[in-house]
Chains A and B, each alone.
Chain A
Amino acid sequence: MAVGVLGTAASGLQVFQRAIAVAGNNINNANTEGYTRQRVELGTRPASFTGQGFIGNGVQIESIDRLFSQFAVERLRDTTSTSSQYETLFEFSSRVANLLGDSDAGLNAGLESFFNSVQTVADDPASITARQLMLSGAESLVVRFQSLNSQVDSLRDETNGTIANLVNEINGISEAIADTNRSIVDATSQASGQPPNDLLDKRDTLINKLSEIVTVRTVEQDDGAVNVFVGSGQSLVTRFLATPLQAVQNDFDSRRVEVAMTSAGSAAVISDSLTGGRLGAMLDFRDQVLNPAQNGLGRIAVSLAATFNEQHRLGMDLDGTAGADFFQMTSPLVSSNAGNTGAASVTASFDLANINDLTTEDYVLQFDGSNWGLSTSDGQSVAVSGSGTIVDPFRADGFSLVIGGGAPATGDRYLIKPTREGGADTALLVNNARAIAAASPVRITEAVNGNGLPTNTGNGAIKLQGVNSSFSALTSGLTFSFDEFNVGGPRLNYTGDATGFIAYDPVTDSGTSFTVAGVSFSVTGTPLDTDSFRFDSNANGSGDNSNALKMADLQAASTMENGRASYQGAYGQLVGQLGTQARSAQITAEAQASLQTQAQASRDSISGVNLDEEAANLLRFQQAYQAIAQVISAAETTFQTLLNAIGR
Chain B
Amino acid sequence: MRIGTLQLFRQGLNSMLEQQSTLITTQAQLSSGKRINTPSDDPTGAAQILGFSETVKQTEQYQLNIQQLKTNLPLEDSALGSVVDNLQRAKELAIQGLNSTNNAEDRVAIAQEIRQISAQVLGLANAKNGNDEYLFSGYQGDVIPFRDNGAGVYSYVGDQGQRELQIGPTRRVAGGNSGLDVFMKINDASGAGPYQDVFTTLETLATNLEADAPTAVSLDQLDNALENIIGFQASVGARLNAIDNQEDANSALLLQLAESRSNIEDLDLVEAAARLSQQTTILQAAQQAFVRVQSLNLFNFL
Partners in one complex: yes
- Which residues of A come within 8 Å of B, CB atoms? 30-31, 33, 37, 90, 93-94, 97-98, 100-101, 103, 106, 108-109, 111-113, 115-116, 119-120, 122-127, 439, 443-446, 448, 450-457, 538, 540-546, 549, 552, 555-556, 568-569, 571-573, 575-580, 582-583, 586, 597, 600-601, 604-613, 615-616, 618-619
Chain B nearest Cβ from A315, distance in angstroms:
13
**Min CB distance, A51 to chain B, in Å?**
46
Is A543 a contact partner of B4 (Cβ separation < 8 A)?
no
Asked if A451 and B2 sit within 8 Å, CB to CB, the answer is: no
Chain B residues near A615: list those with CB within 8 A: 297-299, 302
Task: Given A541-B140, A544-B161, A545-B163, answer yes or no on A611-B40 (Cβ-Cβ < 8 Å).
Answer: no
Interface residues of B in 112-139 (CB under 8 A from A): 131, 133, 137-139
Q: When chains A and B are docked, how far (Å) is the Cα of A540 from the Cα of B10?
A: 79
- Complex interface: chain A residues within 8 A of B196 (CB): 453
Q: Given A455-B193, A579-B43, verify A540-B140 contact (CB < 8 Å).
A: yes
Question: In the complex, how many angstroms separate the beta carbon of B32 from the nearest chain A beta carbon?
Answer: 11
Chain B: minimal CB distance from A280 (Å) = 20
Interface check B39, CB cutoff 8 A: yes
Tell yes or no: B153 within 8 A of A by CB.
yes
CB within 8 Å for A543 and B141 given contacts A112-B53, A445-B160, A612-B298:
yes
Interface string of B162-180 (1 = CB under 8 A from A): 0111100100100000001
Assess A580 versus B2: contact at CB under 8 Å? Given A456-B194, A542-B142: no
Cα A201 to Cα B180 in complex, Å, equals 97
State the CA gap A225–B38 with chains docked (Å). Answer: 48
Complex Cα gap A619–B302 (Å): 9
Q: Does B274 contact A (CB under 8 A)?
A: no
Tell me if A453 and B195 are in contact (CB < 8 A): yes
Does B238 count as interface, using CB distance less than 8 angstroms? no
Q: Which residues of the other chain, B, contact A606 by a CB distance below 8 angstroms?
A: 2
Q: In the bound complex, do residue A103 and residue B53 qualify as a contact, i.e. CB atoms below 8 Å apart?
A: yes
Whether the Cβ atoms of A549 and B51 lie closer than 8 Å is no
A609 to B9, CA, bound (A): 12
Is B260 part of the contact surface with A, judged by Cβ < 8 Å? Answer: no
Interface residue range, chain B: 35 or more
B2 touches A101 (CB 8 A): no
Determine if B43 and A580 form an interchain contact, defined as CB atoms under 8 angstroms apart: yes
Can you list 7 A-B contacts (CB < 8 A)?
A444-B160, A448-B180, A453-B200, A541-B139, A543-B137, A545-B163, A609-B4
Q: Given the complex, which residues of A lie within 8 Å of B42, measured CB to CB?
A: 579
Q: Is the CB of B140 within 8 A of A543?
A: yes
A458 to chain B, nearest CB (A): 9
Q: Given A30-B5, A443-B159, A597-B14, are A576 and B298 neighbors across the interface (CB < 8 Å)?
A: no
Contact (A616, B68) CB under 8 Å given A452-B156, A549-B166, A579-B46:
no
The 8 Å CB contact of B155, one of A98, A100, A106, A451, is A451
CA distance A453 to B147 in the complex (A): 13
- Asked whether, in the complex, the Cβ of B159 is within 8 Å of the Cβ of A541, the reply is yes
Return the 4 tightest CB-CB contacts between A and B, nearest first: A608-B4, A579-B39, A579-B43, A452-B156
Contact of A126 among B2, B131, B153 (CB under 8 A): B131
Given contacts A126-B133, A611-B298, contact A30 B141 (CB under 8 A): no
**Chain B residues whose C-beta falls within 8 Å of the C-beta of A31 in the assembled complex:** 6, 9
**Which residues of chain A come closer than 8 Å to B89, judged between CB atoms?**
none
Known: A108-B53, A568-B54. A451 touches B154 (CB 8 A): yes
